[in-house]
Structure 1
Amino acid sequence: MTKHFKDYDKNSSDEDSASSYDGSSGEEDYGLSDNNDDNDMSEDETLNETADNKDNEEDDDDDDEVVKAIKAEKTKPRDHPPAITCEDFIVDISLHPAKNIIAIANIVGDVLLYEYNNDETKLLNTLELHLKACRDVEFDDEGTTLFSTAKDKVILATDVETGKLKRCYEDAHEEPVYRLLSLDKDKVVTGDDGGTVKLWDLRKPDPVFTIKIGEEHVSDMITNDAQKYLVCSAGDGVLTTIDLKGSKIYTTSEDYDAELTCMGLFRSDTKLLVASSTGKLYLFNWKEFGLHSDEYVGQKHAIQCMVPITQNIVVTSGEDGILRATHMFPQRQLGVVGQHRLPVEKIDISHDGQYVASCSHDNDVKFWNISYFESIESIIDVNQKQNKRRDLSNNLPSSSLKNASDFFSGLA
């Protein structure tokens, strides 16, 4: 299967991509018309719900406590750092675990460190690390070490404070490294374009183990606090779990019909959410990785990245450039958090939970204030029937889009 955005050819594809996403200046630019359709409802159900809601929609809006909370939050001033625009195509971002610092990896192999606050963003350092395009960049848990990898098959560990190199693994993989994940105690795990996963200990010159999990690229990797199991999603549509303690494959899932692209943990790490290139979301119970327990239609377009915001809420984005918030337990679309003109490559959350940052094919990084999620989550009624058509068109306080149905008319 074809890998999504990380092999994006900036010089040859900018014009084509811009023409695909830069249409009229109305709401269709952001896919709002498409996303007002209820993807997982039959045509009859959609027509019936539309008819039922037509006369009562205004009353429903007034009675829905979630909608009331969103309206109230919309009227408040929403501070966030200004956008960062870079000269080169942005491949990945990582937010520092303890400070207002963001690392931005680009297609020429550099990593830019910016400090951010509500008033400004300031460039702290430019690290010229790789000879070819970066693929992934991650801070360790303490924020003292920055891990990076690139198409040059090199894995680097850099001191954040001094910018000095702490460890270099040349020719770390036979194929370019696609994904990197920092573990505890100076350990990092990497996955490449050919389906090989390696565990590294910075105190040792060679990998702790090398495991082949498939033939397609390793798109994402995740583990919980115990770090016993490493779950790997891949381009072949299979979820593979590695026993990190035993250095062996623990289990493999059924074959899914599309690339599995990204993952997130919820409910105190007891629930694993996996997204696909067809826009579907699969929910797994932790340790039960062979078959999903639930399935949702997230959106019509490929989901490329996600970030858990609370124990129940996830923000996803990807091909259409829209950042959407979804409450998973119960499953309910909350609305649009923010938007880019072109596809979104990565989302990350700040150390204090106040912002999410996203990077797109526009060579920009945008920040979105998401502090209002706590108040919204606390009033969601698990027994209330969902109005999916309305929820899909809601724009949350962080979004600058006007609502497709003038839901927030006069509130912006």
Structure 2
Amino acid sequence: MNQDTDSDSESLSTDSTSSMSDSDDDRISDRISLTEKSEAAALLSTDNDDEEENEVVKSILDGKKLNRNHPPSIILEDMITDICFHPKVDTIGVASITGDIFLYTYNNEETNLVSTIESHLKACRDIEFSADGLSLFSVGKDLCIAITDVETKKLTRFYEKAHEQPIYTMTIINEHVFATGDDDGVVKLWDLRRKGSEPICSIKKVEDYISAMITNREAKYLACASGDGCLTTLNIPERKMHVQSEEYDEELTCLGLFKMESKLLLTTSKGKMYIYNWGEFGLHSDEFPNITKKAINCMIPITENVAITGGEDGILRATSLFPHQHLGIVGQHDFSVETLDISNNGTLIASSSHNNDIKFWNVQYFETLNVNQTIKGGKKKQLVHNLPSSQIKNQSDFFAEM
């Protein structure tokens, strides 16, 4: 599958086209559509007097070569703290360190900023759309929780000083209840049916930040990962702690559900992965050794058996859980990958890095990928094996085309 090979070619195309008038651009496009590549190359060589036009022709040719199957990158001026796809339409929310939330529409040709929501005075750390897509939940370093109407962009609920310490993460449990976790290890449950700004439950069982929270459709248990290395599970209906795992000597970073929500995957700051049977949270049932010893900062399930992780080395990797096997590289950033999310139809993932950029990757090929096919060469080959969405080709693929 042909992919973008250089993000610079995107910027070249945008910059060059924007400098031309609409009529000039249409004229060039018509000429390209009537010629083959050889004729376009001849056009480049003969029209030496119009260097600007040549650049546009070259950009259009480059664009045709790319056969884009994913949106172009989004670049912000400020650090990106979280991203979240809308569950119904082709829109992605982007949270920033300034506290603003940006809504972009996207398709394979372009991304467009359509709204800016100013809900927080300090960094907005986590955003999540409601299941119906009508509301956007956000939490921040300013101790506040904001719920915004997606259509009108107006606040429908605002919890001021919801925590005593900055809120690190949140998760929506059902249409009425959601949970938040802060830098001090406090977890709070909130019920939208309750008037006022008081939580229905507040529990503190760890001494470090709550890094991730997750529940399943049954919504009986809320699993909480923390920076002090404990997996703490709360009983939601009873509003009390259920069980706490053994303490790991590393920070717990991400949580994900697999195998029809029967398996819980836990990742760490040392690049390890642990699997729990859902409902049995005292001790993990399986442990996967790390492949790079680099921190796993973010993780999302792609299928019932495959997870994609983003690490501090800037690499997105795919891993099969059963059987356990590293499948290869999904994509690359220049700096540490901080956030990941998957689109409403499951064909795209988006990732952001410390470079203030969001990249999109088409992962539709996972529908037919054979996870049982072993990559020849062992773990060393797995480390550098590029999957179809990667911007870089494998050396063996290159020579196979010659």
| TM-score class, shorter | 0.7 to 0.9
Q: Is the 8 A contact 2:76 2:356 kept in 1?
A: yes
- Partner-residue secondary structure (3-state), 2:369: helix
Structure showing greater relative contact order (alpha-carbon pairs closer than 8 Å, 6 or more residues apart): 1
Cα distance in 2 for partners of 1:301, 1:78 equals: 31
Corresponding position of 1:117: 107
Matched with 2:257 is: 265
Deviation at 1:401, TM superposition (A): 2.0
Match of residue 29 from structure 2? none
Partners of 1:76 and 1:375 in 2: how far apart? 22
Among candidates 365, 376, 397, match of residue 369 of structure 2: 376
SS in 1 for 2:108: coil
Q: In structure 1, what is the Cα distance between the partners aligned to 2:399 and 2:120?
A: 49
Match of 2:154 among 164, 167, 178: 164
Amino acid in the other structure paired with 2:149: D
With over 3 angstroms needed to count, the CA separation of the structure-2 counterparts of 1:385 and 1:367, relative to structure 1, is: closer
Equivalent in the alignment of 1:409: 398
1:309 maps to 302
Alignment of 1:202 with 2:195, yes or no, is: no
Deviation, 1:409, is 1.5
Q: How many residues align?
A: 334
Q: Which residue of 1 aligns with 2:37?
A: none
DSSP-derived class of the 1:146 partner? strand
- Counterpart code for 1:277: S
Question: What fraction of aligned residue pairs are identical, expressed as a percent?
Answer: 52
User: Aligned partners of 2:253, 2:84: CA distance in 1, in Å?
Assistant: 18
| Paired amino acid for 1:393 | V
Instruction: Output the TM-score relative to the length of structure 2.
Output: 0.80
1:332 to 322, 325, 331: 325
Do 2:68 and 2:108's aligned partners in 1 also have CA atoms closer than 8 Å?
no
2 CA distance for matches of 1:410 and 1:120?
A: 33
CA distance in 2, matches of 1:342, 1:277: 16
1:14 aligned residue: none
* Deviations 1:225-260 (CA, angstroms, capped at 9, x unpaired): 111100000000000000001100000000101000
1:280 is matched with 272
SS of alignment partner, residue 364 of structure 2: coil
Q: Deviations over 1:42-77 (max 9, x none)?
A: xxxxxxxxxxxxxxxxxxxxxxxxxxxxxxxxx995
What residue ranges of structure 2 are gaps of 5+ in the alignment? 1-64
Name the CA distance, whole Å, in 2 between partners of 1:215 and 1:208: 21
Match of 2:205 in 1: 213
For the 8 Å contact 1:103–1:114, the answer to whether it is kept is yes
Distance 1:158 1:410, change over 3 A: farther
Structure 1 unmatched ranges of 5 or more: 1-74
2:272 maps to amino acid: K
Cα distance in 2 for residues equivalent to 1:241 and 1:217? 15
Residue 232 of structure 2 is matched in structure 1 by 240
Equivalent-residue separation in structure 2 for 1:137 and 1:115 (angstroms): 17
Corresponding residue SS for 1:408:
helix
Q: Which runs of 4+ in 1 moved over 4 A?
A: 75-78
Structure 1 position 186, deviation (Å)? 2.8
Q: CA RMSD in A?
A: 1.8
SS of equivalent residue, structure 2 residue 398: coil
Q: Give 1 or 2 for the bigger CA radius of gyration.
A: 2
CA shift for structure 1 position 190: 0.0
Find 2:334's aligned residue among 316, 322, 341: 341
Change (3 A) 1:156 1:225: same
Does the 8 A contact of 1:78 with 1:398 survive in 2? no
**Alpha-carbon distance between aligned partners in 2 of 1:132 and 1:144, rounded to the nearest angstrom:** 24
Give the TM-score taking structure 1 as reference length: 0.78
1:103 to 80, 93, 109: 93
Q: CA–CA distance in 1 between the matches of 2:236 and 2:131?
A: 18
Letter in 2 for 1:318: G
Give the counterpart letter for 2:119 in structure 1: L
